[in-house]
Every structure is written in structure tokens, then in C-alpha cells.
Structure 1
Amino acid sequence: MRAFEIPSLSLCIYRKGKRMLSVAYGFSNLRFEQRATPNNTYRVASISKTITAMGIAELVNRGQLSLDSRVFGAKGILPLLAVDQGHPWLRFITVRHLLEHSSAGWGNQEKIEFNRTPQTKRLNGTALLEFYIRAYAPKFQPGRQHLYSNIAYVILGRVIEEVTLRPYEAFISDVVLQPNHIEARMGKTEAGENEVAYYSPDNANPYTYWSPSKLNAAAGWVMRAEEVGCFVFSDAFQR
């Protein structure tokens, strides 16, 4: 922790589904010298993608969705997302491609989700996704290679909303989190109750550099380390 200037760490160890250890080290807030405890919550970043994938799997199991369904275009799941001005390959992207990071676009190395130009700061929801789709063309034909992408999972969140006609967060809470007695919430720009304070080694503001709510299905969830452990040993995860 000292070597990498990490202010706090929450550790939870499970063995055969039973919690063996739950401890925290360091400070949840350096400014106020508050000690970290196992009750502190953290942004769990890309663990959110696994949660989203479980939501997609539930829809597939229910017969409400096919992994090979096309996402964009007039006959796609999200027909209202304007792809007419985008690359022709966009119309061939399927749910499976988004899940497997083989959709060919919006790779993390470009950091487009952190592009905080005056234009993108004003955009949310559909308008922001349409900006990404128009501005960043696929790098290869969908399914040919893998390219890790936050935006692909944000789109999967929209797929869940379109299929269920419910907000992403509400659906995930009902079918993934609550049945497994997992407490979690969607992060906001400012820290919530019991949430640790965040710091950035490069002096970027961790509260304005990116918005958890905009990356909800990709990196938006907040929970305790114990909840992450419960999640890994949940019936839904094991399936």
C-alpha cells in the first residue's frame, strides 16, 4: 500500500462459500483521518461488467433474448440508436460480440469514455452513445478479434432496458442482487454514505474525471468487499 500510495484496502476471504476473514486497512478518508472498516463501500469498476453479463444471461435463460441477435439497425434490438451515419459493420454487431469484447469498436486504449470535451459533457444516454457510434468507427469486422471495451457494456445495459422495458439498475437489483442478498447501488459523481474518498496519483479529479452513472453497466456499481464475495459465490454466478 505504501509503495503504490494506496490509502485503503478492504479484504474479504471466502472458503467453500463461507466467509473466513473480513478486514480493512488504511484510511477511508485521509483528510479527516477516518480509519477504513469492512463497512466501507468502493466503486467496483469492471466487476460491474460481470453483473451486467449475469443480467443478460438471465434474459437468455428466459427466452427473451438471443446472444446472436443484432443490436443496431432497423431490425436490431436498439433500432432508435441512429447508426445510419456510422460504419456499415455496426449493423452486424450482436449481443455476443458485445459480451465477448469482439464488437470491434470503442476500445479502452482510446479512452473515449473519458473524453470530457464541452460536447460530451452535455450529452447523456442515447445522445452520448450516438456520438460514440458516429465518431469512432469499428477497427475490424465484428467477431474477428477482441478489443476490451467499456462502451460495449454500456450498450448492453441499454439492451437490458429495451428488452425488459425497465431501468437497468432496477432490473439488475431484482434478478441478480436481491435474490442473492447482495447490497449494492449505482455510484454517483460524489461519494455516498460509507463510501471511501477517492484519490488520483496523477492529480486528476476522481470525482469529475468520469461519471459512474454514464458507465453504469460497465463500471458503475458500488459495494463492500463482503458483497463482492457473496456475489462470486451466488447461485447466479455459479450458473
Structure 2
Amino acid sequence: MTEDRTAQTLRSIAPYLADWASFQAAYHGVPGLQLAVGRRGEVFVDLAWGKADVETGEDLTSDHLFRIASHSKTFTGVMVMQLVERGELRLDDRAGDLVPELDGSRAAGVTVRELLGHQAGIIRDSSDGDFWQHHRPFLDRAEVLECVRAEGVVFEPNEHFKYTNIGYSLLGIIIEQVTGKTYDEAARVAVVEPLGLTRTGTELDPARAAEYAAGHTGRIAHGDARRVIPHVDTRAMAAATGWYSTALEMVRYGAAHTFGDTTLISDASKRLMQRDESRVAVRGKELGRYGVGIEVGKVGDREVVGHSGGYPGHITRTWIDPVEGIVVSALTNAVDGPAGQIANGVIQLINLALAAADEVAASAVTGKGGDPVPGVPADAPIGRFANLWGVADVVDLGGILHTINVRAAEPAEVAQRLVVSDGRLVQEPVAGFGTVGEPVQTERDADGAIVSVRIGAMTSWPVEEYRSRTAR
């Protein structure tokens, strides 16, 4: 796809991406959602939906700060790679050679690379990780080092992938040892200032307390009330989980992980960080992939990198396509927030639209063969419709009309096309269990407004009309 067509398609579907994500957030009952979608410096979606604090009723804005938790690991990975590029650190340096307090411990021999890739076998959160539910403070430097010395090694290096916040806290200490700066000072010089970030930092800033979106409890049962969870300092664990940001600034940061952008690290360092260090599988089932300081994934056919984050009260997810430059960041302010589901769904919708745009463009080129893809009819019944069985959107994605079950977590799995056949709008005539190949019927009033649609056998109405009908 040409760059112009990619950008044009993203601009055209941006309002729908925001609308779909807002529906998902409301449907799942989360207090608030920030969503940003960008590509190579252009922001297509900047959404702030819902409440920053359900107890005060404060509306969420794009400026509210979220604790992005394990996204912190990607920042730490970048900082390590900068030191490696300058020759101040090597990936095969041993932790015991960098942090004298580890001398003689089992953990002394683990390498920087093993720590970055969660292959060092280090305990995840210590034997008492109740700081995750605020029953105790997060660990300070001395406590991290004592944990590593006394109970840190669970597996031998490279025996198993073992995700570890303690290991990344140790990387923060290593950065301090090598640079002679605090982790926060080193991060400002390495990441925050080069990118011009003003709403991103390593740790809770009491001076900005009013700017943070409140964290909220999850729900055990559907009707449970949510309570606000206070923000706390993660102390020496900031390198693993302390950072804060906004969706917009995460898009700016994510762009620095795309190839060709050398603001933070070289493309060579990106290739090292983003290749598979681990394929995480248990009893033959793959659970995920991890690189060197960054998560590796796939949404549809799109290869992505990034990270999720889980902090008491905030759940977040950012995905980056390092080749095409698309970045999606979804931040939610509840322990059960569906940030990952929303980010994945947005990318699926982008994939559908870009594939459709390519198909439309290819069909219009002389000599490509086949009939041109008919354009979306001017009177297409675009909108959101409901009936007893659900809610469906009719939307133009990339020049082809689609129906989307807006409740579904995986929009690409349930999307169907509507096409013009013999002068009629029909569901795409392909194999299927539904009403494929059948016509779409639209009823309009005297002013041309849609009264109802019948896609297949059942009538649906605009959502507010359906609500009024069922309330009678």
C-alpha cells in the first residue's frame, strides 16, 4: 500500500475507530478510556472517553496521566541499548560485575541480556508481592538487592522464560551504576527530553497529583460498585513498573520504535530488541513471544511489538508496527479494563480497512483482471442498528461496506461485507452459516432518514429507536 493511501484510509476510518472503542469501553463498564492512533507523526485518533474518577465525576481528558506499569520495561530496554551503543555496557556483562552487592550470590552470573529477555530465572515479585494490592510499599533498592541475593534465582539462566519485575528492577539499579545518575535522571536524558515528552515520567510525581486519572477496583459481580485506588510510589521498581504517560505521548514514544526513526536507538538495536528472544509455550500451546526488552506479537497478519501494563487501578496496552509505523495505545483506569482487547480490535479494524483499500485500488488498475469493486452506494444504510439479538454497525472500511458486531471482542472474526450485486445491496455471496447472499432492505421516512434495516431475515432499528420500542 502506498503511504498516501495508508494515511488516507486511516483518516477516513478514524471516527469509526473512536466510536467502536467507546462502545467497547461502555459495554464493559470501565470508568474511562484514552485511545490514540498515530503513524509517522500524524495522529488520527485522540479519544478520551468516560470518567477520570467515578467518585468525583471528573471527566477524563487526553491530558490525564495513566500509570503504564510494565510499559516501563520497554523504556528500560531502550536505556540499556543506548548504553550498549555507546560502549558503556555489554549485553553479556554479568550482573555481579556491575552491582558489587551481588558478589557471591547465585544471581551474580546472570547477564544483562538474560534480564532483558526474562531468561535469567529471577523471581517475579519476591515471595511477598502484596505491594501489588497496597498491603505493603513497593521495594526500595536495598530490598530489591536482598530479594535477589536471598531468593532471586528460581530457574537456571535460559532454562525457562520467566517474567520478572525483580529482574527489571535490578536492570534499573544497573543503569544507575553505569551512568552514575538516578534512574529518573538517566531516563530524562535518554528518553523524555529527546522526544520532547511533557506528560511522561518514571514515577509518581506528587506535584502533579491532580493530573492523574484515578485507578479503580475491578468488579467481582456485574453490578459491583468501583472504588478508587490511590496511586503510590513504586520506588526501586520503577524500571519495571513505575512509568506514567498518556495515550498521545505513548504514540509519540512508539514511533521511536519504528524503523527509520533513530531518535532514541539505531535500527540495528531495534532489530535486536524486536526479534524473538523467547517463544513462550506450555504443553505445546504458545502463550506469547518476547524480545529483548519488548513484547513481540501479531494481530491478524500484522507483526507488532509493544507492551501491556497492569498497575493497581490501570490496565494499558500499546502496539507498534515497526515497519509501517502504525501505533495504537489504549489506556483504561480499572483493574479489569479491556485495554488489550480494545487495542487489538482497533488494529483488526485497521487491517480490514487497509486490505479493502488495497483491493479497491487494485481492481481499478487496467490489466489487473476481474471486475472493478463497486463503490459504496450513496444511499448505503451506514449507522448502528439494534434488535433483540444484538447491535451491528454498517460502516465503510477502506471503500467496501462492512457489517460489524460491535459487541464482539474480535471484529475481524465477525465482519461481513455488503456488496452490490445486480443492482441490489446484498450480503457478500460467499459460503457461510448466516444469511449470506441475501438482500439488504432499508426503510426510510419522508425525509430520507433510516427507519429500519433488514440484513438477512430480521429487522433492526437505529439504537435509540430500538430502545424506545423495547421500553414501551
Mark yes or no: TM-score above 0.5. Answer: yes
Q: 2:183 aligns with which of 145, 168, 175?
A: 168
Equivalent position of 1:92 in the other structure: 109
Equivalent position of 2:264 in the other structure: 236
3-state SS, counterpart of residue 100 of structure 2 = coil
**Structure 1 residue 8 and structure 2 residue 22: aligned?**
no
Identity of aligned residues (%): 25
**How is 1:91-130 mapped onto 2 (pairs within 5 angstroms)?**
91-107=108-124, 112-114=128-130, 121=137, 124-125=140-141, 127-130=142-145
Q: Which moved more, 1:132-141 or 1:153-162?
A: 132-141
For 1:224 and 1:47, locate their aligned partners in 2 and report how far apart those are by CA, in whole Å: 12
Give the TM-score normalised by the residue count of structure 2. Answer: 0.44
Give CA deviations for 1:122-169 in whole Å, capped at 9, x if unaligned: 9621x2113312442422211222101111111111111000000111
Q: What's the CA shift for 1:225? A: 0.8
Equivalent position of 1:195 in the other structure: 212
Amino acid aligned to 1:133: V
Taking CA–CA contacts closer than 8 Å with sequence separation of 6 or more, which of the two structures ends up with the larger relative contact order?
A: 1
Amino acid aligned to 1:226: L
**Structure 1 residue 39 and structure 2 residue 63: aligned?**
yes
Q: 1:178 aligns with which of 171, 193, 202?
A: 193
For 2:229 and 2:108, locate their aligned partners in 1 and report how far apart those are by CA, in whole Å: 35
Q: 2:235 aligns with which of 193, 213, 216?
A: 213
Q: Do the aligned partners of 1:232 and 1:238 also contact (CA within 8 Å) in 2?
A: no
Q: 2:244 aligns with which of 218, 222, 227?
A: 222
Q: 1:141 aligns with which of 156, 160, 165?
A: 156
RMSD: 2.8
Give CA deviations for 1:56-91 in whole Å, capped at 9, x if unaligned: 00000000000000002xxx100124x54x4x3x12
For 1:107 and 1:220, locate their aligned partners in 2 and report how far apart those are by CA, in whole Å: 16
Q: Do the aligned partners of 2:55 and 2:228 also contact (CA within 8 Å) in 1?
A: no
**Structure 1 residue 56 and structure 2 residue 84: aligned?**
no
Q: Do the aligned partners of 1:59 and 1:65 also contact (CA within 8 Å) in 2?
A: yes
Q: Which moved more, 1:180-189 or 1:216-225?
A: 180-189
Q: What's the CA shift for 1:236? A: 2.1
Amino acid aligned to 1:105: I
Shift of the 67–164 alpha-carbon distance from structure 1 to 2, 3 Å rule, reads same
Give the TM-score normalised by the residue count of structure 1. Answer: 0.84
Give CA deviations for 1:204-229 in whole Å, capped at 9, x if unaligned: 97337x64334200111111111100
Shift of the 187–206 alpha-carbon distance from structure 1 to 2, 3 Å rule, reads farther
Shift of the 219–20 alpha-carbon distance from structure 1 to 2, 3 Å rule, reads same
Q: What's the CA shift for 1:237? A: 6.0
Shift of the 62–238 alpha-carbon distance from structure 1 to 2, 3 Å rule, reads closer
Structure 1 unaligned spans of 5+: none
For 1:122 and 1:45, locate their aligned partners in 2 and report how far apart those are by CA, in whole Å: 13
Q: What's the CA shift for 1:30? A: 1.2
For 1:122 and 1:195, locate their aligned partners in 2 and report how far apart those are by CA, in whole Å: 19
Q: Which moved more, 1:131-140 or 1:183-192?
A: 183-192
